[in-house]
Amino acid sequence: MVNFGGWDMPVEYPSSGGLIVEHKAVRGSVGVFDVSHMGDIRIRSGKKPGGALAAVQHITMNDASKLAIGQAQYSAMLYPQGTFVDDLIVHRLGEDDYLLVINAGTREKDIYWVRENTKAFDCVVEELSDAYTQLAIQGPRAAEVVQKLTDADLSGVKNYWFTHGTVCALKNTLIARTGYTGEDGFEIYVPSDEPTSEKVWNQVMEAGRGFGIVPCGLGARNTLRLESKMALYGHEISDKINVWEAGLDRYCKLEKGNFIGRGALERAKAAGVTRTLVGLEMIDRGIARDEYSCCNEAGEKIGVVTSGSPSPTLGKNIALVYVPPAYSALGTILYVEIRGQKYKAQVVATPFYKRQKKAAAPRLA
């Protein structure tokens, strides 16, 4: 167990067979993660309609006005400098009702940030982090597993949409087609009391038994998201890194109107980036790890690894690293310094892994 943002969490489950088994289960079939550490903030309009949307638009960079009820979007909260307070998922629960799902490690900071910066808006901010146990059921067979547990028709729920249904006899449960693995999958939000949480966990395991479901820990969560080049706060994104550097342009809508960080981002865009996030694949035998230095062929330090690990899917050692744009072309040879020695690597296309999108609707058991 490790301490993760104040939560006692397993890196891997020995009963599953360990990290690699867990990782491969999610890529090949299905795995379940207890992600109750994620924080939840609900923002509703006050007396008049529109207050919640205005508040969400002000504190996040994506365009929440584009969300239909039942739809979610990846977004982020920014500092006035255009760097990250946190990344998050915005769900539009109702006409004037939004749910922001945030990271555990930044929870207190986020809550404070949301409260401080929504004061001018006619809205009600409520922290619900402790109210939910959140389970992520992820993998190509996840839809079949979750469908066994609910009366809601999941075939109609597209990626980054959600629905409410009875799950394990719990009425009105939020079932979102979201995740942090690069696979298809769902995240469900159930009451956090222990008997309910345990019951739901056991029923998910039971429903997934025929698919070889395994519990997955933080280790597999990290390798899965890294292969899919999904950002991790404190690594690829932080209060020192801006949106353009992180390559999250498509989730940042300058044209939507003013929001915190927009001015700085406009200036940064005009000035151009001095570093950009690239994917590396090791050529020499060596594993790049977080915070290792990255050098050019002349041996000059040009960047730092933000996340590095063996990739269980690819059987290669991969890393994400910020480098000056001059070194970002695919095929560029770079070196990672590992225990005082330089190991050769090359810039490769990202994400390192991309799932095959199925044309047909998922088969449902």
Partner 1 sequence: MAYPKSYRYTKEHEWIEVKGDLATIGITDHAQHELGDVVFVELPKPGAKIEAGKSFGTVESVKAVSEIYAPASGEVIEINGELQNKPETINNDPHGAAWLIKVRLTNAKGISDLMDAPAYEAYIAEKGKETSA
Binding site for partner 1 (CB under 8 A): 1, 11-12, 14, 18-20, 23, 219, 222-223, 285-287, 289, 309-310, 312, 339
How far is C-alpha 255 from the chain's CA centre? 24
Q: Which of 156, 205, 192 is nearest to 33 (CA)?
A: 205
- Residue 42 in contact with residue 94, Cβ under 8 Å? no
By beta-carbon proximity to partner 1, the closer residue of 287 and 295 is: 287
By beta-carbon proximity to partner 1, the closer residue of 82 and 286 is: 286
Q: Is residue 16 classed as helix, strand or coil in its secondary structure?
A: helix
Minimal distance, residue 137 CB to partner 1, in Å: 22
Minimal distance, residue 70 CB to partner 1, in Å: 37
Q: What is the largest CA-CA distance in the chain?
A: 63
| Cα–Cα distance, 294 to 240 (Å, whole number) | 18
Minimal distance, residue 8 CB to partner 1, in Å: 10
By beta-carbon proximity to partner 1, the closer residue of 20 and 128 is: 20
By beta-carbon proximity to partner 1, the closer residue of 303 and 312 is: 312
Minimal distance, residue 11 CB to partner 1, in Å: 6
By beta-carbon proximity to partner 1, the closer residue of 18 and 362 is: 18
Minimal distance, residue 223 CB to partner 1, in Å: 6
- Residue 336 in contact with residue 286, Cβ under 8 Å? yes
By beta-carbon proximity to partner 1, the closer residue of 208 and 219 is: 219
Minimal distance, residue 5 CB to partner 1, in Å: 17
Minimal distance, residue 216 CB to partner 1, in Å: 13
Element (H, E) at 73: strand 72-78
By beta-carbon proximity to partner 1, the closer residue of 1 and 364 is: 1
